[in-house]
Amino acid sequence: MATAQTVKTSNRNVPLDRIRNIGIIAHIDAGKTTTSERILFYTGKSYKIGDIDEGDTQMDWMDQERERGITIVSAATTTFWTPVLNTAMPHEPFRINLIDTPGHVDFTAEVERSLRVLDGGITVLDGEEGVQSQSETVWRQADKYNVPRICFVNKMDKLGADFERTVEDIRTKFGVKPAVMALPIGVENTFRGVVLLLDRKSLIWEGDETGAKYTVGEVPEDMKVEVEEMRAKLVEQIAETDEVLLEKFFAKEEFEINELKSALRKAVISYQLVPVFCGSSLRNKGVQPLLDAIVEYLPSPMDIKQVKGTNPKTDAEEVRKLVPEEPFCGLAFKIQADPHVGRITYVRVYSGKLKSGSYTLNATKNENERVGRLLLMHANQREEIEEAYAGEIVAVVGLKATKTGDTLSDDAHPIMLEGISFAEPVISLAIEPKTKSDQERMGMALGKLSEEDPTFKIKTNQETGQTIIAGMGELHLEILVDRMKREFKVEANVGAPQVAYRETIKKIAEGEGKYIKQSGGRGQYGHCWLRVEPKNRGEGYEWDNEVKGGNIPREFIPAIEKGVKEALENGVVAGYQLVDLKVVVTDGSYHEVDSSEMSFKIAGSMAVQAAIKQADPIILEPIMQVEVTTPSEFMGDVIGDLSSKRAQIQGTDQRGTAVIIRALVPLAEMQGYVTILRSMTQGRASSVMIPSHYEEVPQSIAAAIIEKNKPQGGKRE
């Protein structure tokens, strides 16, 4: 391994190879925050275990999080762990930068941006529910950024918990090779500890209190055969990933435990194997082996080695090694409005150093920014530091122009890293201030909230003057309105949620836009021909220029595109945004004196509207992936109800006494579904809804949408 670089932290010197930037990701209610709280307790970061039911968790610090018992914003903290069991790692303090992310699909942006800057992840699964729909969603998000993971099967004390079935779920639903590292001792109410397969050791916790004390012993007599079988499987899995070990395996030689752990570490970092541990965070069992696994198998910045980007001046690819000696570069992944210090920007430092009071370049916007103060965050508490180094996650105070996904870099060595992509909102509602004094404050509050949350969009309906806010779901918007009231003291009236319909086209068509105005003095002249072409669902908007021979001077082409973009905001069928199409400017003409950017912008807008009217325009609606977990006796009623909502039933799975129904359902049909489902199943069923894709609206429903939008002159969000 390369020589370790030392990173100075508050009163600790930790080499770079002993830093872990990790996140906890999972389905809602799998036990992420409970696991995070246990990690903080056992690492000595907190002296009291926070409890969601008591409302005193450290990582869920917002009032709304404590009231609802859910995570809304990702919380970052720094803590230290010294491995306790027989390990291939040094028995020295490891620094863990931990991010606890939300499980609810409405807050998907928080998961997306956290995964973009993390080196490793822990996926927490419910031992009874197994791999649920949102578990698959966050797993795919982590796949996108190639984040190595460990699985922790939580709630082994829960009625119906089944470790083997959950491991099989990991294999089939995630499509990975699970490496079972621990077996549960007992199950449901008899669960009391785990057997670590590689070490052939049992860890038994007496009682549920703090769980800090456990007994390390031999494998229980009744588990010895199973443990040896499972261990042999695990050793074979590890050997398959390493040529040297594979030779030893075929030669039937004995392996040293440290060479197995070292090979497993490489296999995890290269994403060949996913270690699986088990426990019960709520009952304080199984968290210490998980902490050991974090330092043992998840990568340090040195394992990642380097990060790629492009030079904004030359567009050439550049590489930065993740060490303090390289020029500085970092990624801003989260903005937060802090009532005490103002605007905070969370930055993952990839290379080099960042000093408080210095200047840095925002390579994305080509603007210099002053670094006012540097803070180490522990949820909503702060600790001031003078300098941040490669491998750290810090909060910066004082950056004005930097937004989520921007790259900060050394002025002399600019580099632009890959940004962060976010899902488009699927639901919107109208909002208006209650009083005149709320008017100004509301604009400021909405601006700050949209800066924090890239999936929260604000628009003004030009015809009604209404402010429209859009987000990922009803809960998302409800929380934002609540935050506006509490944090910014803005009282507002809120309309009913509206589905974010879209429009698109089905065939190729052309359109002409000619804008000529003579009104004494200099006139206006802009003329262009455009072609519109449909694209596949989800491919977005594309612009191209095919003008030959200077029929339209080059300087007017951007003005045409600007006019096109503005026109696409308001579709021709019912006033919804147009998506998934290509617009090509093909020809036109100009006037030596009268042509201007404004006249070509108007001509572009006229031409694209004319073309779309000829291109068979249609309305699209968001389709949701719905998963309902219900006792089997209500299965018929639930499926019948979903079918009445235009659902496509995709299949059902039996899990214990419950049935999981999977379906694709239009969002428009799912308003207030949770209440309907509860009353239909005596409150015993639950549902999860995730945005899936957009689909054409049936003609009869499209006619009703068009009719509904008529009185407002066509535009409605």
pLDDT in tens, 100-153: 676 555 566 667 767 778 889 999 998 888 887 777 778 887 888 888 999 999
Measured CA to CA, the distance from residue 208 to residue 446 in angstroms comes to: 45
CB 341 within 8 A of CB 372: no
Nearest alpha carbon to residue 336 among 392, 421, 404 = 404
C-alpha–C-alpha distance, residues 59 and 259, integer Å: 36
Query: What does the alpha-carbon distance between residue 297 and residue 639 come to, in Å, rounded to a whole number?
Result: 43
**Pairing mode of beta strands 193-196, 201-205:** antiparallel
Confidence of residue 66 (pLDDT cuts 50, 70, 90): very low
Give the H or E element holding residue 299: none
Quick check: 594 pLDDT over 50?
A: yes
Q: Quick one: residue 713, left, alpha or beta (phi over 0 = left, psi -120 to 50 = alpha)?
A: left
pLDDT single digits (tens) 520-551: 667 889 999 999 999 998 888 999 999 888 88
pLDDT at residue 201 tops 60 = yes
Question: What mean pLDDT do residues 306-320 have?
Answer: 85
Res 82 pLDDT > 80: yes
- For the stretch 256-263, contacts whose Cβ atoms lie closer than 8 Å and that sit 24 or more positions apart, written own/partner, are 257/86, 257/88, 257/198, 257/199, 258/88, 260/198, 260/235, 261/87, 261/88, 261/198, 261/296, 261/297, 262/88, 263/238, 263/239
> What CA–CA distance (Å, rounded) separates 691 from 626?
9
Average pLDDT over residues 266-290: 89
Over residues 390-413, the mean pLDDT reads: 86
Whether CATH 2.40.30.10 fits 306-417: yes
Task: From residue 138, give the alpha-carbon distance in Å to each of 112, 274, 521, 678.
Answer: 8, 15, 62, 26
Among residues 169, 125, 183, 133, the alpha carbon closest in space to that of 149 is found at: 125
Q: Does domain 6-303 have CATH number 3.40.50.300?
A: yes
On whether the CB atoms of residues 502 and 620 are closer than 8 A, the answer is yes
User: pLDDT-derived band of residue 706, with 50, 70 and 90 as boundaries?
Assistant: confident
The identity of residue 321, as a single letter, is K
Name the residue type at position 84.
V
Domain ranges of the chain: 6-303, 306-417, 427-495, 503-615, 621-707
Same fold, 427-495 and 621-707: yes
Q: 468, 457, 420: which is closest to 109 by C-alpha?
A: 420
C-alpha 141 chain-centroid distance: 7
Q: What angle do CA 438, 439, 440 make, to 5 degrees?
A: 100
Cβ neighbours for 54, distance < 8 A, ≥ 6 positions apart: none
CATH number, domain 621-707? 3.30.70.240
pLDDT for 58 equals 43
The Cα 643–Cα 663 span in angstroms is: 9
Asked whether the CA dihedral 699, 703, 704, 708 is positive or negative, the reply is: positive
What residues are paired with 516 via a beta bridge? 525
Q: What CATH number belongs to 427-495?
A: 3.30.70.870
* Residues linked to residue 359 through DSSP beta bridges, in sequence order: 370
Determine the straight-line distance between the first and last CA of the chain, rounded to whole angstroms: 56
Reported confidence tier of residue 50, pLDDT bands at 50, 70, 90: very low
Q: Which two tokens stand for residue 222?
A: 């009744």
- Provide mean pLDDT across the span 697-702: 90
* Distances, alpha carbon 624 to alpha carbons 363, 472, 578, 666, 685, in Å: 37, 11, 20, 6, 18
If one looks up domain 503-615 in CATH, what number appears? 3.30.230.10
* Chain centroid to CA 715: 31
Q: Which of 268-272, 392-396, 560-564 has the highest mean pLDDT?
A: 560-564
pLDDT tens for residues 457-479?
Answer: 888 766 566 788 888 777 778 87
Rounded distance between C-alpha atoms, residue 549 and residue 544, angstroms = 16
How many other CB atoms sit within 10 Å of the CB of residue 27? Answer: 27
Instruction: Specify the pLDDT at position 5.
Output: 39
Is residue 17 pLDDT above 70, yes or no?
yes
